[in-house]
Amino acid sequence: MYENIKERVWKANLQLPALGLVILTWGNASCIDRELGVIAIKPSGIQYDKLKPEDIIICDLNGKVVDGCYRPSSDLATHLCLYKAFPDIQSIIHTHSKWATIWAQATRDIPIYGTTHADYFYGDIPCTKPMEKQQILDDYEWNTGEQIITTFQERHLSTEMMNAVLVSGHGPFVWGDCIDNAVENALVLEYIAEMAYHRECLNQTPKNLLSQEILKKHYFRKHGKDAYYGQ
């Protein structure tokens, strides 16, 4: 019954170390089937090179395991929180990829400096505010998701046009309308995080951000009903 979604999530999880986005067990990929009311997610603590399709955990939307022998990822509650809040999200990737995590640890948005960024993300990549003590003590993983939701609400951001967020002091969460798209967004985020870091090393003034005209041109030629770009 769940073979197809398990296979897709297994393949996506294996891509993360292959693309240099995770080491050890530092990350997870999930996918939701909204018709069946389940999500598939990596099990907790299993090394990627030992991961098999049948190891992928199936949970209902309350986090109860309905298929699988292991514990689901410790980030399950964050994934569930985001899936419930944003119906357009179909897959979520969480990593501790080096360059994106550097920005998260600095509690900084990633400024939009170039067209590579604009091709994928409509504006600066947001970083959440640090979590309050009670948020951490009460239900840390769920409240991590709530912190992301609050960031998007306060900044009036769309999860369709901004497919990534940095959790302050933690790392990136990235999503997409399918699991392949989510993996691609995670890889692009890491590249633009590195480019933005080096750009600031070369030019430490905040000037020369990408103009709104170039941002709109590059984003909308690749996304939406009038898209025509394919490199």
Residue bearing tokens 């979520």: 92
Percent of the chain with pLDDT over 90: 84
Given a cut of 90, whether residue 224 has pLDDT beyond it is no
69 falls within a domain:
yes
Residue 228 lies inside a defined structural domain of this protein: no
CATH number (domain holding residue 57):
3.40.225.10
Domain membership flag for residue 112? yes
Question: What's the average model confidence in pLDDT over 164-192?
Answer: 98
- Asked if residue 231 is part of any domain, the answer here is no
Q: Considering the domain boundaries, does residue 138 fall inside one?
A: yes
48 part of the active site: no
Q: Which of the residue ranges 74-78, 112-116, 221-225 would you say has the lowest mean pLDDT?
A: 221-225
What is the structure's pLDDT at 221? 79
Q: Which residues, including other chains, have CB under 8 Å from residue 213's CB and lie 6 or more apart? A: none
- For 115, phi then psi, to 5°, come to -75, -25
User: Both tokens of residue 41?
Assistant: 């997610």
Does the residue 179 lie in any domain? yes
* DSSP letters for 171-226: EEEEEESSHHHHHHHHHHHHHHHHHHHHHHHH--SS--PPPHHHHHHHHHTTSSTT
pLDDT given for residue 208 in this prediction: 64
d(CA 140, CA 135): 6
Please indicate whether residue 150 or residue 1 has the higher confidence score (pLDDT).
150
User: What 3-state DSSP class applies to 38?
Assistant: strand
**Taking Cα atoms as reference points, which of 174, 152, 149 lies closest to residue 30?**
174
Q: 86-106: string of b/e by CB count within 10 Å (b at 16+)?
A: beebbbbbbbbbebbbbbbee
**What span, in angstroms and rounded, lies between the C-alpha atoms of 81 and 148?**
9
> Does residue 229 surpass a pLDDT of 70?
no
Q: Is 229 one of the catalytic residues? A: yes
Distance from the Cα of residue 53 to its chain's centroid: 21
Q: d(Cα 66, Cα 83) in Å, to the nearest integer?
A: 18
- Does some domain include residue 229? no
User: What is the percent of the chain with per-residue pLDDT over 70, rounded to a whole number?
Assistant: 95
Query: Can you give the pLDDT at residue 220?
Result: 81
**Does the residue 203 lie in any domain?**
yes
**pLDDT at position 227 over 90:** no
pLDDT given for residue 207 in this prediction: 61
215: left (phi over 0), alpha (psi -120 to 50) or beta: alpha
Mean pLDDT of 127-148: 95
**Quick check: 111 and 206 in contact, CB under 8 A?**
yes
Least confident stretch, 4-8, 36-40, 76-80, 212-216 = 212-216
**Cα 205 to Cα 114, 122, 215, distances in angstroms:** 15, 22, 20
**Which residues form the domain of 7?**
3-220
Of 33, 67, 109, 119, the active-site residue reads: 119
Q: Render pLDDT for 200-212 as a digit per residue (tens, 0 to 9).
A: 998 876 666 777 8
**How many structural domains is the chain composed of?**
1
Highest-confidence segment of 68-72, 91-95, 212-216, 225-229: 91-95
> What's the average model confidence in pLDDT over 146-155?
98
Residue 17 has pLDDT above 90, yes or no: yes
